[in-house]
Structure 1
Amino acid sequence: MRQIENVVSDRGSKYAVSGGPVQGRAGCEAFLATLKRTKKYAKATHNSWACLLSEGGPVKNDDGESGAGAVILRMLERAELRDTIVVVTRWYGGVHLGGDRFAHVVTCVRAFLEAERTD
């Protein structure tokens, strides 16, 4: 599991990105369960995620951050990254960010993809 914390901070909200290889929908569920064993991630406002499964196709979950899963999924499709879940975590800071939240999701996914390329 790769975790990159403090990718973006904006008006009190903080973002992190996590990800790793998974097999099937059950693998996605197991990854999320492992991530949420850390109290900090379990208490996060949103853990939005997506994955392109070789068997089962695309899966995503906004976790209350409307549209975030679709943004993550589009980026995974462009990168042709399969069987790897990417989770963008947000701790809400009390101020609505409007459309800026999508830019922050993109920044987080880019950070993850760049870290994957350098390995």
Structure 2
Amino acid sequence: MSPKAPQVIRLGQVLKDRGSKYAVSGTPVTGRADIDAALKSLLRDRAYAKATHNTWGAVLTDGGPVKGDDGETGAGMVILRMLEREGLTDHLIVVTRWYGGKHLGGDRFRHVQTCVRDYLDALAP
């Protein structure tokens, strides 16, 4: 296990749609212990802890793809696909959603993609 939690980069709120709000965060990780520590660190923030969904994905060099949907079925796979296409390994991306009371249907997957794209763009030099 890592001695301390990785520093989680929070881009904050990326978009709003029909009352739902989305944010994106992430950090480099080396294994499942780092992922767990990063998620725990993020959830210490009351706003993120009260979110409806904190979906995440990472492609680990040692361990392959891992994801968590946190009740937002399919969202973790969207994050994984984008990480794989980008060739980004050993990096956790978390997309947070605060549900606004209206179902978004397939738009929710486009919003996850937008959040991940914003995060990846912020990483680019």
Same fold per TM (> 0.5)?
yes
Residue type matched to 1:27 in 2? D
Separation in 2, partners of 1:116, 1:69: 20
**1:22-44 deviations in Å (ceiling 9; x for gaps):** 11011100000000000000110
Other structure's SS at 2:95 match = strand
2:9 matched to which residue of 1?
2
With normalisation by structure 2, the TM-score equals 0.93
RMSD over equivalenced CA pairs, Å: 0.6
Any idea what SS the aligned residue of 1:98 has? coil
TM-score (norm 1): 0.97
Q: CA deviation at 1:73?
A: 0.1
User: Structure 1 unaligned runs (5+)?
Assistant: none
Deviation at 1:68, TM superposition (A): 0.1
Is it true that 1:25 corresponds to 2:40 in the alignment? no
How far did 1:5 drift?
1.5
Is 1:39–2:13 an aligned residue pair?
A: no
In structure 2, the partner of 1:57 is: 64
- Secondary structure of 1:82's partner? coil
Structure 1 residues 84-95: aligned runs within 5 Å: 84-95=91-102
Can you list the C-alpha shifts for 1:33-91, whole angstroms capped at 9, x where unaligned? 00000000011000000000010110001100010000000000001101100000000
Give structure 1 regions of 4+ aligned residues with deviation exceeding 2 angstroms: none
**Which runs of 5 or more residues in structure 2 are unaligned?**
1-7
For 2:64 and 2:25, locate their aligned partners in 1 and report how far apart those are by CA, in whole Å: 20
